[in-house]
Structure 1
């Protein structure tokens, strides 16, 4: 042991938190920038002073697409880009609403659901409890 061993990388930390039912993103302690996708240094200022914080979960749809599949192959699903209130953009899906009702500008709220791979994932629902 050299004392230089590192713990799990930020992607592994993010995934472990999701598996525990916790959605967190990083925030730079030096410049205050929120960061997503998990990183080891802040993309805004280069600092390694990144801490995990709980975002509000409130977001706005930036863009969406619907992937069309035959029912026997799992059926259609949506893919969205959402802008969190904290200023980061992430890719996800919206549950609880018809695909054709999802549009840019729709207000959504984050929750933890199941991803395509069976692992925990951040998913969104329309704000206000629709769906």
Structure 2
């Protein structure tokens, strides 16, 4: 499955998510963490979805594991959609790219990569981590 760079929909603009997209343009992945209860969450929002406390941005590791995955065979090329549980705790809906979609399995380790949307905004996706080794190199811009 290719990266499909430039083929992703443009994310909606919002003042609340602007710091996330600015960091993504620098190759950094941010999450919000509640300053009251300490829980990280995805999708970034100003108020904690668990306790309505204030939240702060933090840099995330970009590491996770596949929680659930499905292959969309009618897409051309085939697309995979997955829930990835991040090392920091939240689970996010995303795509797994640059892999054989039929080789994906629940529990496999993945690492964040950014693909470009139609207008060039970096969109967070994931790719498999090589078994027993370090993550494959990040995709270049």
TM-score under structure 1 normalisation?
Answer: 0.79
Higher relative contact order by CA 8 Å / sep ≥ 6: 1 or 2? 2
**2:61 matched to which residue of 1?**
56
Q: CA RMSD in A?
A: 2.1
**Cα offsets for 1:30-73 (capped at 9, x unmatched):** 2211021011201122112x111111211010111111236xxx
3-state secondary structure, aligned to 1:124? strand
Which structure 2 segments of 5+ residues have no match? 1-13
Does 1:41 find its partner at 2:22?
no
Change (3 A) 1:82 1:11: same
TM-score under structure 2 normalisation?
Answer: 0.74
Segments ≥4 residues shifted beyond 3 Å:
115-118, 128-131
Number of positions where the alignment pairs a residue of Structure 1 with one of Structure 2: 120
**Which structure would you say has the larger Rg?**
1
Report the structure, 1 or 2, having the larger helix content: 1
CA distance in 2, matches of 1:78, 1:118: 21
Which is further off, 118-127 or 59-68?
118-127
